[in-house]
Structure formats: structure tokens, C-alpha cells
A and B are shown apart, each in its own frame.
Chain A
Amino acid sequence: MSRRSPLGRVRGLGSAKEGAGHWWGLRFSALALIPLTLWFAASVAVMSGAGYETVRAWAASPLVAGLLLLLIVAVFYHGARGLQEVIEDYVPRKSVKFTAILAVQAASIVLGLTGVLSVLLLLFRV
């Protein structure tokens, strides 16, 4: 979904590529991250110094696991898109720019999936 306004699309305004979708994606993930990061920071602060069993019991709750999955997806989506913007602004050489963005996206996928798998393991391991 590009979320460009119909008038903008008809007039051919704005980015000819995926700029509008990128812009919205960054804002929607930012909006989602406001409650998610506040919840996570508060949870981690409360569990500060707590042992393995406390953290495991916390992560075994489906509600917590669901929120953690949302947090991970939003963090890596937002982080990858944000870094891409910075790279596009400051890296002039096309080859370096392309490679850097690819590396950021690959790292985000690998790290994000590792996080998702960890949350699922914590949720389902008896």
C-alpha cells in the first residue's frame, strides 16, 4: 500500500519510486514503538537483577511474548529504514550506498529472526 494521496498520484507528485511508502513506514513503526519501548524499558528496569527463572516466567506469558515479537519487528523495520535514510543522505557513491543498504537489511533480517526465534523458544519450551 503506497498511501499516496490520489491527487498526488494523478499529478505525479513526490517520489517516483517507493518514497511515500518508506516515509509512512518509518512513521507507523515510530508510532508503534512509543508504547512498546516504554513498556519494555519499564519491564527490564523492574526485572533488574532478577534471576533466570523470573525472566523466563515473564517471557513465557503469551501477552509478553506477543509484545516482544511486535517490539522486535518494529525495532528492526524502523532501524533498517532509518539507517537507509542516513546512508542515502551521506554516502555519495552508488556502489557503496547499494552495498551498505543491503548489508543493513541483511543484518536486520538475521538479528530480527534470531530475536523472534528466541521469543518463541521462551514461550513454547516447557
Chain B
Amino acid sequence: MIQVNRVRNLPAAIRIDGGSKGPLGEGGFMSSDNRPLSPHLQVYRPQLTSVLSFLHRMTGVALTPGTLLLVYWLAAAAAGPEAFATAQALIGSIIGRVLLLGWSFALFYHLCNGIRHLFWDAGYGLELPDLYRSGWLMVFAACALTLGSWVLGYAMRSGAW
């Protein structure tokens, strides 16, 4: 019998181990009305690996409206001083800064986790201990890059450098 530690308490019908009978036994895997369902989000207890994976997609999707800001900023600079001043004021407003904070974290998160993905695609770091190590390292790096860029931004703004 397969041990599935990560599955929450579930009705017997969708237990992955299919009850006490073997795969082909009565009420086991293969009976048509009691087939094991593919484990999905609500079945698994969240783990670092799965949470980081969802976040990769979510930050990727969240970044696409962020491209509007990039294009708006460039177009405003191209349009002239007045349009650019308006853009800077919008981005510098409270709402603008909150959005920018979210987007900067999403950017650094997607970037750092994307590097993990590239290593996996090359066949490295796929063992479970490596996944956890690179996962925590990535979370730390994304937070550090976000914090670092904001510290740099505010330091430049106040003329510390």
C-alpha cells in the first residue's frame, strides 16, 4: 500500500490508496464508480514546493498588466516633460507605490524562481532536498532584491548618494 502522508482526511471514495483492497479488487482502484481522482489543490496540504510553483504562475500573470506601466512610463517620457511629470506623480502616489511594490516583488520572485526552472530544465536540482534548499534560497533572494531596490530608490531620492 502506498503511504500518502500529505493527503488530508478525505472520504474513502477519493483516497489515493483506494481502500484496503488491492488495485483490482472490489471497491479498489479499477471499479468504475470508485476510481481514484487526480489529487488537486484542495486535496493536498500546501507544501513549499507546490506553493512556490503556484506563486510562479500567479506572479507571471500579475506581471503582464505591469507591462502597461513600463510602456506608459516610456511613452510619457517620449511625449514630453508635462506628460512625464504626470506619470511620475501617478507612480509616486500612495496607490502607485503600493502597486509598484507588488510588481517589483512579483518581478524578482518570477526572475529568481525562473532561474530555478532553467536549472530544472537542464536536469539539475530535482532531488527533494535540493528543491527545498533552492526554494528557500529563492524566497530569500527575491525578498532581498525587492528590499535592496527600494532602499536604493529611496536613498537616491533623498540624495544620500
Contact A114 B71 (CB under 8 A): yes
Q: Kindly name the residue among B68, B71, B114, B121 whose own CB sees the greatest number of chain A CB atoms within 10 A.
A: B71
On whether the beta carbons of A52 and B81 are closer than 8 Å, the reply is yes
Q: Is B152 an interface residue (CB 8 A)?
A: yes
Does chain B have a CB within 8 A of A27? Answer: yes
Q: Which of B112-161 contact A (CB under 8 A)?
A: 114-115, 117-118, 121, 145, 149-150, 152-154, 156-157
* Interface residue total, chain B, C-beta cutoff 8 A: 35
Residues of B at the A interface (CB closer than 8 Å) are 57, 60-61, 63-64, 67-68, 70-71, 74-75, 77-78, 80-81, 84-85, 92, 104, 107-108, 111, 114-115, 117-118, 121, 145, 149-150, 152-154, 156-157
Question: Is A115's CB under 8 angstroms from B156's CB?
Answer: no
Q: Point out the residues of chain B lying under 8 angstroms from A37, CB to CB.
A: 107, 111
Most buried by A among B64, B114, B149: B64
Chain A residue at smallest Cβ distance from B100 = A44
Chain B residues with CB below 8 A from A34, complex form: 111, 114-115
CB of A5 to closest CB in B, whole Å: 14
A95 is an interface residue with CB less than 8 A from chain B:
no
B78 near A79: Cβ-Cβ < 8 Å? no
Partner of A56, one of B77, B114, B150, B154: B77
Q: Contact at A117–B78, with CB atoms within 8 Å?
A: yes
Q: Which residues of A contact B81 (CB under 8 A)?
A: 52
